[in-house]
Amino acid sequence: MKQSLREIQLLLVRLSIALFTYPICKILFFSFNYKYFPDVSFAEFVSILFFGLRFDISALILVNTAFILLHIVSFGFSKKKPYQLLLKTVFIISNSISILANCVDFAYYKFTLKHTTSDFFSLFSLGSDIGTMLPQYIRDFWYIIFIWIALTVFMGWMYGKINAHPPTPSRREVELSLKGSCARNLRLSFGKDLGWALVSWFVLNSILIGLCIIGFRGGFQLRPIATINASEYVSAQNIPLIINTPFSIVKSYGLEELEERNYFSGNERTTIFNPIHRESKIQNLKPRSNVFIIIMESFSKEYIGALSGRKSYTPFLDSLIKESLVFNNAFANGKRSIEGIPAVLASIPSLMNESYITSSYGSNKFSSLATTLKDKGYSSAFFHGGTNGTMGFDVFTKAAGFDKYFGRYEYNNEKDYDGDWGIGDEKFFQYTGKEVSKMKNPFLVTLFSISSHHPFAVPAEYAKQFQEEGGQPIYKSVRYADFSLKRFFESIEKENWFDSTLFVITADHAGPSVDNFYSNNVGSFEIPILFYKHNSSLKRVDPRTTQHIDIMPSILSYLHYNEEYFSMGENMLDSTSSGYAVNFINDVYQIFQDDYLLQFDGHKTLAVYDYKTDSLLQQNLRGKLPEREKSMEVKLKAIIQTFNHSLIHNKMTAKSE
């Protein structure tokens, strides 16, 4: 029994070494990203480290499953040097991967404002993005590699300090020769008789396994802990501080399999929220109105002076806003390009950890602007200067009904390749204008920029004109992208299709920020949405809450589209639409309506904020505004139920619903 106890003690000490790296990584994570958590005091951070152990232990047990099992079944081999070398190798490899995952988010977090999830690995199957960008990320964040190596070496050094061969008491030794396929003449050492030793080994290791199961589940509760359980200890804004990246990856794996929600009966749900739209007052399609959607990479509201009231990096867009219908309280439905494209073009919000494109529902039949307008004689094309296959956009746009896709390969001039993502905006925008002029009217065109994406490169010929400023590399690339947009409009304003084209300009998602507001759960989703048509009446500022998924129904309304279609958004050209926005981050659903934000975990409301007067989200109003809270929660529940039901049952068209 003493031998078994010594083995278990040795295992626990070794696991403690690995566990120690988790709070170290959290301290480093906070050090690199403290600007995104402005309200966290020293005392609160200490409590975060303590309560975070619940999530750290859960990840630790899973990461070290093989190591634990090898320890349990070691028998008499435990003292053999080859077996100890095997144990150490498994331990170092398993936990170094875990440390690497934590280290990656030291730098990657600022781009997504959440820990890496399992769908990150889905990107490996989409084009050559990883192979192309990995060297660039290593160059920019080389120090992460050194931190990872240092922590791994430290862990290995600590492991080696633990004595795996305690002195054996001078007692009778019982030898048992076991013959089998795995070993011969296996030597077992026991202090008493063999039977008692086996019983004690079984009992002690059964207890150990039970403790491991409890540790992995995070306690004795009915359901294993998930990311959302972090909200028991911190606000939704600070959830990333309490969990760790291995936990985030493991717990998000398979979560694209949505859960059927039954908050309401079918009829009750559609009364609250109905995704089937039809403009019954409209008689026929507005003739010859082209649609041109321009999606600017990472164009946060913060960067646009005409919207933010701050220093502007977009002088041309500012001038265009004055001539447009602009929604100055607009939100993205996601934090990544791969989430923004389905939201803009097909009115599909991102209400799960996995992006729609890479999820198991990506093959569903769905309505999009291209499919709804195809029957009305519209030709369509999607332009993106990135390498073909990037983020799966070429595959998605084909599924969305676009007739043609134009990317880096169609551009066919590698002299203009930026070496990272594709063809720079200025050159590719000019190319787009020429190709659009060849298209048959009426047309639907989408142009997606790339230059304001990390590594925020500016072509060499414009390097002096757009130099780094303000301490943020993205500012110069935003200025260059805005310049490219200006050049584009100058080149097309004389085309015969210009005056008959509705332009919709937005961003795929907000960009990185070090500002306390624009990096929290409100500001980090704020983007521009504007409708521009030359010499039209579309010139006003609309203060209603608007979102990506409203673009599709609003365009169809402008075109007087008079048939049923499926959309999760609202027609914001209808003055009776109240406006709302939804998104999902760190396993928390969010709904914005008027001046308020409500956060919901799928079962209960976590927080309510008046984000107009409390921009840093420090005053939780939950329970203080019962009518407002109830109406927003009911609305959000109906949206979640509709979203999950529609994806699970492949009912994302008007006919299927």
- Answer yes or no: is 614 within a domain: no
Is the model's pLDDT at 286 over the cut of 70? no
| Distance, CA of 644 to CA of 460 (rounded, Å) | 47
338-361 mean pLDDT? 93
* Residue 628 resides in a domain: no
pLDDT over 60 at 181, yes or no? no
Give the residue-averaged pLDDT of 171-180: 42
pLDDT, residue 657, reads 60
Average pLDDT for 408-426: 91
pLDDT grade for 501, boundaries at 50, 70 and 90: very high
Residue 72: which pLDDT band, with cuts at 50, 70 and 90?
confident
Domain assignment present for 190: yes
Whether 62 has a pLDDT exceeding 80, the answer reads yes
Are 152 and 11 contained in the same domain? Answer: yes
Q: How confident is the model at residue 363, as a pLDDT?
A: 84
Question: What does pTM read for this prediction?
Answer: 0.83
Of 252, 271, 290, the residue that ends a domain is: 252
Q: What is the pLDDT of residues 25-46, one digit of tens each?
A: 999 999 999 989 988 999 999 9
Write the pLDDT tens digit of every residue in 513-525.
989 999 999 999 9
Does residue 175 surpass a pLDDT of 50? no
Q: For position 587, what pLDDT does the model report?
A: 92
- The first and second tokens of residue 501, run together, are 């084209």
- Confidence (pLDDT) at 569: 97
pLDDT-derived band of residue 447, with 50, 70 and 90 as boundaries?
A: very high
Mean pLDDT on 340-357: 95
> Quick one: 335 and 375 in the same domain?
yes
Q: pLDDT tens digits, residue range 201-252?
A: 778 888 889 999 999 999 998 788 888 889 889 988 899 999 999 999 988 7
pLDDT at 290 over 90: yes
Tell me which residue has tokens 């993106």.
Answer: 384
Long-range contacts of 227-234 (CB under 8 A, 24+ apart): 227/251, 227/252, 227/586, 227/587, 228/586, 228/587, 228/588, 228/601, 228/602, 229/54, 229/55, 230/55, 230/586, 231/588, 231/601, 231/606, 233/47, 233/48, 233/51, 234/44, 234/48
Domain boundary among 232, 252, 272: 252
pLDDT at 90: 96
Mean pLDDT value across the chain: 89
Flag whether pLDDT at 281 surpasses 80. no
Q: How confident is the model at residue 178 (pLDDT cuts 50, 70, 90)?
A: very low
Nearest to 527 by CA among 284, 311, 268, 334: 334
Give the CATH number, domain containing residue 316: 3.40.720.10
Same domain, yes or no: 297 and 243: no
- The residue type of 173 is E
Structural domain includes residue 468: yes
Share of the chain above pLDDT 70, in %: 89
How many structural domains compose the chain? 2
Residue pair 61/172 in contact (Cβ under 8 Å)? The answer is no
126 shares a domain with 14: yes
Q: Tell me the pLDDT tens digit for each residue of 113-140.
A: 889 887 676 665 555 556 666 777 788 8
- Is residue 10 situated within a structural domain? yes
Say what the pLDDT of residue 6 is.
79
Check whether residue 245 and residue 322 sit in a common domain: no
pLDDT at 98 over 90: yes
Judge whether 476 and 321 are in contact, CB under 8 Å. no
- In sequence order, what DSSP letters do the residues of 333-391 get, joined into one string? S-SSHHHHHHHHHH-----SSS-TTTSTTTTS-B--HHHHHHTTT-EEEEEE-BPTTGG
pLDDT for the residue numbered 182:
42
Residue 264 within a domain: no
Residue spans of alpha helices (H) in 273-313: 305-308
Asked if residue 100 has pLDDT above 70, the reply is: yes
Residues in the chain: 657
Do 231 and 301 lie in one domain? The reply is no
pLDDT digits (tens, 9 = 90+) for 377-401: 999 999 999 999 888 899 899 999 9
Distance, CA of 327 to CA of 306 (rounded, Å): 12
Between 360 and 381, the more confident residue is 381
How large is the average pLDDT for residues 583-595?
96
107 lies in the same domain as 176: yes
Does position 66 have pLDDT exceeding 90, yes or no? yes
243 and 286 part of one domain:
no
Residue 164 scores a pLDDT above 80: no
pLDDT at 466 over 50: yes
Q: How many helices (H) and strands (E) are present in the chain, helices listed first?
A: 21, 15
* Mean pLDDT to the nearest integer, 434-461: 94
- Please confirm whether the linkage preceding 166 is cis (ω < 30° from 0): no
Nearest C-alpha neighbor of 27 from the set 154, 158, 151: 151
Q: Is-contact 570 582, C-beta < 8 A?
A: no
136: left (phi over 0), alpha (psi -120 to 50) or beta: alpha
Judgement on whether residues 236 and 286 belong to the same structural domain of the protein: no
Residue 487 has pLDDT above 80, yes or no: yes
Give residue 185's pLDDT.
39
Residues 394 and 498 in one domain: yes
Question: What's the burial of 1, exposed, middle or buried (CB within 10 Å: 0-12/13-18/19+)?
Answer: middle
Cα R_g (the chain), whole angstroms: 28
User: Taking phi first (over 0 means left), then psi (-120 to 50 degrees means alpha), and beta for anything else, what does residue 287 get?
Assistant: beta
Q: Per-residue confidence at 494, pLDDT binned at 50, 70, 90?
A: very high
Range of the domain at 479: 282-442+452-533+547-575
Q: 483 and 557, same structural domain?
A: yes
Nearest to 606 by CA among 623, 584, 627, 625: 623
| 313 and 238 in a common domain | no
**Residue 59 lies inside a defined structural domain of this protein:** yes
112, part of any domain: yes
582's CB contacts (< 8 A; 6+ apart) are 333, 349, 351, 547, 589, 590, 591, 592, 636, 639
Q: Which of 199, 230, 252 is the last residue of a domain?
A: 252
pLDDT at 256: 56
